[in-house]
Amino acid sequence: MTETTPHRRRRVQAKRPPTIHDVAAHAGVSRGTVSRVLQGGHNVSPASREAVDAAIRKLGYVVNRAARSLVTQRAGSVAFLLSETQDRFFEDPNFTTLLRGCTQALAAHDIPLVVITAGTEAERRRITPFLSAHHVDGVLLISSHRGSPMVGHLRRAGLPFVCCGKPLGQRGKVSYVAADDREGAKEMVRYLLESGRERIATIAGPQDSPGGVERLAGYREVLAEHGVAPDERLVEVGDYSWASGEAGMQRLLARVPDLDAVFVASDLMADGALTAIGRTGRRVPADVAVGGFDDSPVASAARPPLTTMRQPWDRISETMVGRLLAQIGGEGPATVILPTELVVRESA
């Protein structure tokens, strides 16, 4: 009778971390019971729960995410996907605020955040398999441009996602969270009007970005509501960069020397505008009032500090994460618009 040699291989390794099996043995219960405690402890007697908790603490047990993922078919992580030319985002001061907010909001749920860039076609090709294989459970999509190709990819992959800002040029229902750009712009322009300004110019954001479009629309709307005749010579369009703000302001001042206020669609551009104004010898806010948008760090560092509309980044990131988790949990898409807040400093 030959003895069966059951190739017990058991990789030799220095002290493997404890498994659910060890915990079960220590607590004198079965693996099933430990697993039940791990996911909330329903249908577990108080005595068992306590024994398991004690064993977990004693052994320093941490669940093995790979094993869990394998059976639950869930990655247990979420992606922060930058679908945009690198520089545009990485130089945007709002970007880090958003990243920080999302990281924190997810940390509360114990969900790791994976950062992925998809600025070029090559990068998109590389990450598509990653996404369609569901190596993350959902995606926070950061893209400011019209028609990001990622929206289509994500839909096809069947991955839940939430956009930051309204995605332009998309058919069908897309989840997004955005600040109320139009209402924010209106409030700022209204504030300028009410503080007695009469010739209010604007430097808008790029017209292929939702913020750019909406803020310009808000500007026009308020003026119309107040019976001010539209004057296209008072409108410049920038690209959110410092330089475009400076250049835009220069053109505005050349065209309409007696303007007495300007609503600039981003703080960075507003800072550039400040420089252009200063160069002509005009004083801010005495001669020209300047209103920005974002309340990014440059706003308080600018000279004079900028009056601006604060974007509620904390709430935006929290809401994005909340929505994403809801969608991963099976809920349908939704859109959330959050109010902005006027921050009065010295420039207006």
Place of tokens 């390794």: 13
Which residues are paired to 237 by β-bridges? 204
4: helix, strand or coil: coil
336: helix, strand or coil: strand
Q: Does 63 bind DNA (CB under 7 A)?
A: yes
H helix count then E strand count, the chain: 14, 12
Q: How far is the CB of 126 from a second copy (least distance, A)?
A: 7
Q: How far is the CB of 143 from a second copy (least distance, A)?
A: 16
CA dist 222 and 207 (Å) reads 19
Q: How far is the CB of 71 from DNA (least distance, A)?
A: 4
Site for a second copy in 167-206 (CB under 8 A): none
Nearer to a second copy, 91 or 198 (CB): 91
Nearer to a second copy, 183 or 239 (CB): 239
Angle among Cα 92, 93, 99 to the nearest 5 degrees reads 95
Nearest to 242 by CA among 166, 311, 186, 296: 296
CA 125 and chain centroid, separation: 23
Q: How far is the CB of 188 from a second copy (least distance, A)?
A: 23
Nearest to 265 by CA among 332, 196, 318, 188: 188
Site string for a second copy, 84-123 (x = CB under 8 A): --x---xx-x-xxx-xx--xx--x--x-xxxxxx-----x
Instruction: Provide the residue type at 41 as one letter.
Output: G
The residues binding a second copy (CB under 8 A) are: 13, 17, 60, 62-67, 69-70, 73, 75, 77, 80, 86, 90-91, 93, 95-97, 99-100, 103-104, 107, 110, 112-117, 123, 126, 129-130, 132-135, 242-243, 271-272, 275, 297, 301, 303
The residues binding DNA (CB under 7 A) are: 5-11, 16-17, 19-21, 28-36, 38-39, 43-48, 61, 63-64, 67-68, 70-73
